[in-house]
Structure 1
Protein backbone atom coordinates (compact mmCIF):
# COMPACT_ATOMS: atom_id res chain seq x y z
CA UNK A 1 0.00 0.00 0.00
CA UNK A 2 2.90 2.38 0.70
CA UNK A 3 4.06 2.15 -2.93
CA UNK A 4 0.55 3.04 -4.13
CA UNK A 5 0.40 5.98 -1.70
CA UNK A 6 3.82 7.17 -2.87
CA UNK A 7 2.70 6.94 -6.50
CA UNK A 8 -0.44 8.95 -5.70
CA UNK A 9 1.52 11.65 -3.85
CA UNK A 10 4.00 11.85 -6.71
CA UNK A 11 1.16 12.20 -9.22
CA UNK A 12 -0.47 14.98 -7.21
CA UNK A 13 2.84 16.83 -6.96
CA UNK A 14 3.42 16.51 -10.71
CA UNK A 15 -0.15 17.66 -11.42
CA UNK A 16 0.23 20.70 -9.14
CA UNK A 17 3.51 21.60 -10.85
CA UNK A 18 1.94 21.27 -14.30
CA UNK A 19 -1.03 23.43 -13.28
CA UNK A 20 1.30 26.10 -11.86
CA UNK A 21 3.39 26.03 -15.04
CA UNK A 22 0.17 26.55 -17.02
CA UNK A 23 -0.66 29.71 -15.07
CA UNK A 24 -2.88 28.29 -12.32
CA UNK A 25 -2.41 29.41 -8.73
CA UNK A 26 -2.59 26.38 -6.46
CA UNK A 27 -4.55 27.47 -3.38
CA UNK A 28 -4.62 24.22 -1.45
CA UNK A 29 -3.75 20.54 -1.74
CA UNK A 30 -5.33 17.54 -0.04
CA UNK A 31 -8.16 19.48 1.62
CA UNK A 32 -10.17 17.18 3.85
CA UNK A 33 -13.56 17.36 5.51
CA UNK A 34 -15.96 14.76 6.87
CA UNK A 35 -17.22 14.05 3.34
CA UNK A 36 -13.83 13.25 1.81
CA UNK A 37 -10.82 14.89 0.20
CA UNK A 38 -10.11 17.25 -2.68
CA UNK A 39 -6.73 16.72 -4.34
CA UNK A 40 -6.04 20.24 -5.60
CA UNK A 41 -7.89 23.54 -5.37
CA UNK A 42 -6.55 26.15 -7.78
CA UNK A 43 -7.50 29.43 -9.37
CA UNK A 44 -7.20 30.53 -12.95
CA UNK A 45 -8.58 33.93 -13.83
CA UNK A 46 -11.87 34.29 -11.97
CA UNK A 47 -12.51 30.53 -11.77
CA UNK A 48 -12.00 28.23 -8.79
CA UNK A 49 -10.88 24.87 -10.10
CA UNK A 50 -11.28 21.67 -8.12
CA UNK A 51 -8.89 19.12 -9.59
CA UNK A 52 -9.16 15.36 -9.20
CA UNK A 53 -5.83 13.65 -9.85
CA UNK A 54 -5.65 10.02 -10.89
CA UNK A 55 -2.21 8.43 -11.13
CA UNK A 56 -1.27 5.04 -12.52
CA UNK A 57 2.01 3.36 -13.35
CA UNK A 58 0.45 1.77 -16.46
CA UNK A 59 -2.85 1.39 -18.26
CA UNK A 60 -3.01 -2.34 -17.50
CA UNK A 61 -6.18 -1.74 -15.48
CA UNK A 62 -7.47 1.09 -17.64
CA UNK A 63 -6.67 4.73 -18.20
CA UNK A 64 -6.66 6.89 -15.05
CA UNK A 65 -9.63 8.93 -16.31
CA UNK A 66 -11.75 5.76 -16.32
CA UNK A 67 -11.72 5.89 -12.50
CA UNK A 68 -13.72 9.14 -12.55
CA UNK A 69 -17.24 7.74 -12.54
CA UNK A 70 -20.56 9.61 -12.28
CA UNK A 71 -20.63 8.68 -8.58
CA UNK A 72 -17.14 10.14 -8.12
CA UNK A 73 -18.16 13.34 -9.95
CA UNK A 74 -21.20 13.75 -7.70
CA UNK A 75 -18.93 13.39 -4.67
CA UNK A 76 -16.50 15.97 -6.10
CA UNK A 77 -19.39 18.41 -6.58
CA UNK A 78 -20.43 17.97 -2.94
CA UNK A 79 -16.84 18.41 -1.77
CA UNK A 80 -16.43 21.55 -3.90
CA UNK A 81 -19.58 22.95 -2.29
CA UNK A 82 -18.25 22.13 1.19
CA UNK A 83 -14.93 23.84 0.38
CA UNK A 84 -16.75 26.96 -0.86
CA UNK A 85 -18.85 27.05 2.33
CA UNK A 86 -15.68 26.77 4.43
CA UNK A 87 -13.96 29.54 2.40
CA UNK A 88 -16.60 32.26 1.82
CA UNK A 89 -13.84 34.77 1.05
CA UNK A 90 -12.97 32.86 -2.13
CA UNK A 91 -15.25 33.99 -4.93
CA UNK A 92 -15.53 33.04 -8.56
CA UNK A 93 -17.06 30.62 -10.99
CA UNK A 94 -16.46 26.98 -10.09
CA UNK A 95 -15.41 24.09 -12.27
CA UNK A 96 -14.11 20.56 -11.81
CA UNK A 97 -11.11 19.38 -13.80
CA UNK A 98 -9.28 16.07 -13.90
CA UNK A 99 -5.61 15.32 -14.35
CA UNK A 100 -4.35 11.88 -15.35
CA UNK A 101 -0.74 11.05 -14.57
CA UNK A 102 0.88 7.99 -16.11
CA UNK A 103 4.15 7.43 -14.28
CA UNK A 104 5.72 4.16 -15.40
CA UNK A 105 8.62 2.70 -13.43
CA UNK A 106 10.74 3.18 -16.55
CA UNK A 107 10.17 5.84 -19.16
CA UNK A 108 8.63 9.26 -19.45
CA UNK A 109 5.74 10.53 -17.36
CA UNK A 110 2.61 11.57 -19.26
CA UNK A 111 0.22 14.16 -17.85
CA UNK A 112 -3.21 14.91 -19.34
CA UNK A 113 -5.53 17.67 -18.15
CA UNK A 114 -9.24 17.68 -18.89
CA UNK A 115 -11.21 20.82 -18.08
CA UNK A 116 -14.83 20.91 -16.94
CA UNK A 117 -15.36 17.20 -16.42
CA UNK A 118 -18.32 17.68 -14.15
Structure 2
Protein backbone atom coordinates (compact mmCIF):
# COMPACT_ATOMS: atom_id res chain seq x y z
CA UNK A 1 0.00 0.00 0.00
CA UNK A 2 1.30 3.46 -0.87
CA UNK A 3 2.56 5.59 2.02
CA UNK A 4 -0.06 8.30 1.43
CA UNK A 5 -2.83 5.66 1.60
CA UNK A 6 -1.45 4.36 4.91
CA UNK A 7 -1.36 7.92 6.24
CA UNK A 8 -4.97 8.48 5.16
CA UNK A 9 -6.12 5.30 6.90
CA UNK A 10 -4.23 6.27 10.06
CA UNK A 11 -5.88 9.69 9.97
CA UNK A 12 -9.35 8.21 9.60
CA UNK A 13 -8.75 5.89 12.57
CA UNK A 14 -7.59 8.85 14.68
CA UNK A 15 -10.64 10.85 13.55
CA UNK A 16 -12.96 7.98 14.52
CA UNK A 17 -11.38 7.77 17.98
CA UNK A 18 -11.71 11.55 18.36
CA UNK A 19 -15.41 11.48 17.42
CA UNK A 20 -16.15 8.55 19.73
CA UNK A 21 -14.55 10.43 22.64
CA UNK A 22 -16.91 13.33 21.85
CA UNK A 23 -19.93 11.03 22.10
CA UNK A 24 -20.50 10.25 18.42
CA UNK A 25 -21.26 6.82 17.01
CA UNK A 26 -19.68 5.98 13.65
CA UNK A 27 -22.36 4.71 11.28
CA UNK A 28 -20.46 4.65 7.97
CA UNK A 29 -16.82 4.62 6.84
CA UNK A 30 -15.76 5.58 3.32
CA UNK A 31 -19.36 5.75 2.12
CA UNK A 32 -19.64 6.20 -1.66
CA UNK A 33 -22.42 7.44 -3.91
CA UNK A 34 -21.76 8.09 -7.63
CA UNK A 35 -17.98 8.11 -7.04
CA UNK A 36 -18.42 10.74 -4.31
CA UNK A 37 -16.91 9.56 -1.04
CA UNK A 38 -17.65 10.66 2.50
CA UNK A 39 -14.84 9.61 4.84
CA UNK A 40 -16.98 9.22 7.97
CA UNK A 41 -20.65 9.52 8.81
CA UNK A 42 -21.40 9.74 12.52
CA UNK A 43 -24.27 10.67 14.79
CA UNK A 44 -25.12 11.61 18.31
CA UNK A 45 -28.50 12.42 19.88
CA UNK A 46 -28.51 15.83 18.21
CA UNK A 47 -26.89 15.60 14.75
CA UNK A 48 -25.79 13.42 11.90
CA UNK A 49 -22.39 14.60 10.70
CA UNK A 50 -20.60 14.08 7.43
CA UNK A 51 -16.86 14.26 8.00
CA UNK A 52 -14.00 14.94 5.62
CA UNK A 53 -10.67 13.83 7.11
CA UNK A 54 -7.40 15.38 5.90
CA UNK A 55 -4.11 14.06 7.23
CA UNK A 56 -0.57 15.33 6.74
CA UNK A 57 2.82 14.59 8.29
CA UNK A 58 3.61 18.30 8.62
CA UNK A 59 2.21 21.72 7.89
CA UNK A 60 5.02 22.55 5.47
CA UNK A 61 2.67 22.60 2.48
CA UNK A 62 -0.23 24.21 4.30
CA UNK A 63 -2.65 23.03 6.92
CA UNK A 64 -4.60 19.86 6.11
CA UNK A 65 -7.97 21.63 6.22
CA UNK A 66 -6.84 23.94 3.42
CA UNK A 67 -6.87 20.94 1.07
CA UNK A 68 -10.69 20.71 1.11
CA UNK A 69 -11.52 22.29 -2.24
CA UNK A 70 -14.79 23.76 -3.44
CA UNK A 71 -15.27 20.83 -5.81
CA UNK A 72 -14.69 18.36 -2.95
CA UNK A 73 -17.27 20.21 -0.85
CA UNK A 74 -19.81 19.98 -3.70
CA UNK A 75 -19.20 16.22 -4.02
CA UNK A 76 -19.60 15.69 -0.27
CA UNK A 77 -22.85 17.66 -0.24
CA UNK A 78 -24.20 15.69 -3.22
CA UNK A 79 -23.42 12.37 -1.53
CA UNK A 80 -24.79 13.56 1.83
CA UNK A 81 -28.03 14.73 0.20
CA UNK A 82 -28.51 11.27 -1.30
CA UNK A 83 -27.65 9.60 2.02
CA UNK A 84 -30.17 11.72 3.93
CA UNK A 85 -32.94 11.00 1.40
CA UNK A 86 -32.25 7.28 1.10
CA UNK A 87 -31.94 6.68 4.85
CA UNK A 88 -34.89 8.83 6.01
CA UNK A 89 -32.70 10.77 8.44
CA UNK A 90 -34.69 13.10 10.68
CA UNK A 91 -31.78 14.78 12.49
CA UNK A 92 -30.18 18.00 11.30
CA UNK A 93 -27.03 17.43 9.27
CA UNK A 94 -23.66 19.03 9.83
CA UNK A 95 -20.54 19.04 7.69
CA UNK A 96 -17.28 18.82 9.64
CA UNK A 97 -13.62 18.68 8.69
CA UNK A 98 -11.10 16.90 10.88
CA UNK A 99 -7.55 17.99 10.09
CA UNK A 100 -4.73 15.85 11.43
CA UNK A 101 -0.99 16.36 11.50
CA UNK A 102 0.75 13.20 12.66
CA UNK A 103 4.40 12.17 12.64
CA UNK A 104 6.91 10.48 14.92
CA UNK A 105 7.08 13.58 17.17
CA UNK A 106 3.46 14.52 17.73
CA UNK A 107 -0.18 14.26 16.73
CA UNK A 108 -2.46 17.28 16.34
CA UNK A 109 -6.18 16.93 15.68
CA UNK A 110 -8.25 19.99 14.75
CA UNK A 111 -12.00 19.46 14.48
CA UNK A 112 -13.86 22.11 12.50
CA UNK A 113 -17.57 21.78 13.21
CA UNK A 114 -19.93 23.26 10.60
CA UNK A 115 -16.92 23.69 8.33
CA UNK A 116 -19.23 24.39 5.39
CA UNK A 117 -22.93 24.62 4.71
CA UNK A 118 -25.09 22.99 2.07
CA UNK A 119 -26.87 25.54 -0.14
CA UNK A 120 -30.56 26.02 0.49
CA UNK A 121 -32.80 24.69 -2.27
In structure 2, the gaps of 5 or more residues are 117-121
In structure 1, the gaps of 5 or more residues are none
**CA displacement at 1:69 relative to structure 2:** 2.2
**CA displacement at 1:98 relative to structure 2:** 0.4
Greater CA deviation, 65-74 or 7-16?
A: 65-74
Task: Give distance in 2, aligned partners of 1:16 and 1:26.
Answer: 7
Number of the residue aligned with 1:24: 24
Number of the residue aligned with 1:113: 111
SS of residue in 1 equivalent to 2:30: strand
Task: Give distance in 1, aligned partners of 2:62 and 2:45.
Answer: 33
Task: Give distance in 1, aligned partners of 2:21 and 2:102.
Answer: 19
**CA displacement at 1:51 relative to structure 2:** 0.5
Task: Give distance in 1, aligned partners of 2:60 and 2:82.
Answer: 34
Alignment of 1:1-118 (within 5 A): 2-88=2-88, 90-104=89-103, 106-118=104-116
Provide TM-score, normalisation by structure 2.
0.89
Task: Give distance in 2, aligned partners of 1:54 and 1:24.
Answer: 19
Provide TM-score, normalisation by structure 1.
0.91
**CA displacement at 1:29 relative to structure 2:** 0.8
SS of residue in 2 equivalent to 1:45: coil
Task: Give distance in 2, aligned partners of 1:113 and 1:96.
Answer: 11
